[in-house]
Amino acid sequence: MKSQVRVAILGATGAVGTELLELLDSRNFPLAELKLLASSRSAGRTLPFRGEQLPVTAVGEDSFKNIDIVLASAGGSTSKAWAAKAVESGAVVIDNSSAFRMNPEVPLVVPEVNPEAATTHQGIIANPNCTTILMAMAVWPLHQVQPVKRIIASTYQSASGAGFQAMEELKIQAQAILNGETPPTKSFPYPLAFNLFPHNTAINDLGYCEEEMKMVNETRKIFNAPEISISATCVRVPVLRAHSEAINLEFSQPFPVAKAREIIANAPGVKLVEDWQANYFPMPIDATGKDEVLVGRIRQDISHQSGLELWLCGDQIRKGAALNAVQIAELLVGI
């Protein structure tokens, strides 16, 4: 691909879209052109970028002409409607929705884990789910040293996973409850402020919701390890931004805790955060706005001699979405 790249952001006005803008700027991505696309409702707005105000235009049939890379963050239905058009125009689509993740012809990529998969694309590369990305960043370095047999994940997912409106709703709900008023609910089915509930996606016949099955199926695909046993419980919690996860890993033989800490401390895109005396470990407030996935509280599973426990926090909008997409784009341009 050319050294100067023509990029379009589809869904530019959303939480991930605006983060993509910031990352393209801060990482000095080699842009020849940047086009901002959104629905007709957002057309006419402008967004700041590198000292300019760039116009937002409504996506249409000719939107992808002469575009090299499309960073899509507008939801699955929008991606299904426009991805093929973009590919027909000669662009590579890096899609942040769930529309193409489990398509066997579409690579599902976390650059620190399986960058080689990006070279097999046929016009579309899928960005994994946020919880999957964050977990993969912590588990993959250990899996490379000693293959993981089983993963049990419990997630604590912030309002940011549902976008700007959900974050604002959480603030409004908190104030309403403090005022003795009934909190409004629009982004979520139940009040999230001062509350938590299992992830509000559809539940299958086995009792697992879509978010939980994303962690199961996407991790196996990214690791190219269909044999790994995985179970997940995903929960919405009243945190504005950055997801947390408690991970239990089972190996075929004991994995020394000191060795695991050393591996995590040297893994790309991961930061070891542990102060055992102060009982200080990764927190969403520390992960917010950070590129790294914070990992800590690595310990022996006292119920299983070949088990490890760990805790992580990561910014869902950055590494869980926008940053991972930009890193894939950087793979394509050879950065």
Q: Is 11 helix (H, G, I), strand (E, B) or coil?
A: coil
Long-range contacts, stretch 228-233, CB < 8 angstroms, 24+ apart: 228/148, 228/149, 228/150, 228/151, 229/149, 229/150, 229/151, 230/150, 230/151, 230/152, 230/153, 231/151, 231/152, 231/153, 232/131, 232/152, 232/153, 232/154, 232/155, 232/208, 233/153, 233/154, 233/155, 233/198
Tokens of residue 320, six digits: 């869980």
Out of 143, 199, 243, 313, pick the active-site residue: 243
8 A C-beta contact, residue 251 and residue 307 = yes
Does 130 participate in catalysis according to the annotation? yes
DSSP E strands, 127-251: 148-157, 197-198, 229-236, 243-251
8 A C-beta contact, residue 272 and residue 265 = yes
Please give the single-letter amino acid code of residue 145: V
Tokens of residue 89, six digits: 């125009």
Sign of CA dihedral 187, 190, 195, 200: negative
Query: What is the rounded radius of gyration, in angstroms, for the C-alpha atoms of the chain?
Result: 20
Out of 130, 143, 199, 313, pick the active-site residue: 130
Active-site residues, by number, are: 130, 243
